[in-house]
Amino acid sequence: MTRSATVDTHRVWRLGADIDTDVLAPGAYMKLGIEGIAPHCLEALRPEFAREVRGGDVIAAGPGFGIGSSREQAAGALRHLGVSAVIAPSYSGLFFRNAYNLGLLLLTCPQAETLVEGDAVRLDLHTAGAPAVVAADGRRLACEPVPDFLLAMVNAGGLFNLLRQRIPSKTLETS
């Protein structure tokens, strides 16, 4: 999805600040695996989300996205549902780490909260060192640079897939 991000548009789901991991991956379903967790992603805030989200949609939220527990499924559920990116002013450090490891693009965007629910936005990841979200009204919202190694992880579908490309398979299977 991110490969063609400069031409595709992405529908915005607009959330508030401090979206925590329990809202993203509710504790009650943690034993079910990602297929069982994802249908409940964000249901406490937006009951329709998991049912109506489409591959390529993005989430625009307030600061502190992904705070709470260390559960990797918080990022995994968004990825499983086909969310292309999260756009927020700041993230929990651990969520940021987990998300990229799982191939979920996070854009650190101070003006994320000016994006509008339901609007179609574009992601410009190709202007060297200066990624941006282009809002429906044409405004260009600057984001913090995303280093190449993190973009490579997103494009590969996560760290494990990237390592599979780069390290002989026998090593990963036996270590």
Q: Which residues contact 85 (CB under 8 A, 6 or more apart)?
A: 2, 10, 58, 59, 104, 105, 106, 107, 123
Query: Within positions 44 to 63, which residues make up the interface with its own copies, using CB under 8 A?
Result: none
DSSP assignments along 13-40, one per residue? EE--S--BHHHHS-GGGGGG-HHHHGGG
Contact region with its own copies (CB under 8 A), list: 23-31, 43-51, 64-72, 119-127: 64-72
Q: Based on CB atoms, which residue is closest to its own copies, 116 or 172?
A: 172
Query: Encoding tokens for residue 23?
Result: 């809202």
Any idea of the CA torsion for 127, 88, 68, 75, to the nearest 10 degrees? -50
Query: Per CB under 8 A, does 106 bind its own copies?
Result: yes
Query: Per CB under 8 A, does 69 bind its own copies?
Result: yes
Query: Per CB under 8 A, does 164 bind its own copies?
Result: no
Query: Per CB under 8 A, does 27 bind its own copies?
Result: no
Query: Per CB under 8 A, does 91 bind its own copies?
Result: yes
115/74 Cα distance (integer angstroms)? 22
Residue from 32, 36, 70, 127 touching its own copies (CB under 8 A): that is: 70
Contact region with its own copies (CB under 8 A), list: 2-10, 25-33, 51-59, 162-170: 162-170
Please report, as ranges, the residues that interact with its own copies according to CB under 8 A: 64, 67, 69-70, 90-97, 100, 106, 108, 144-147, 150, 166-168, 171, 175
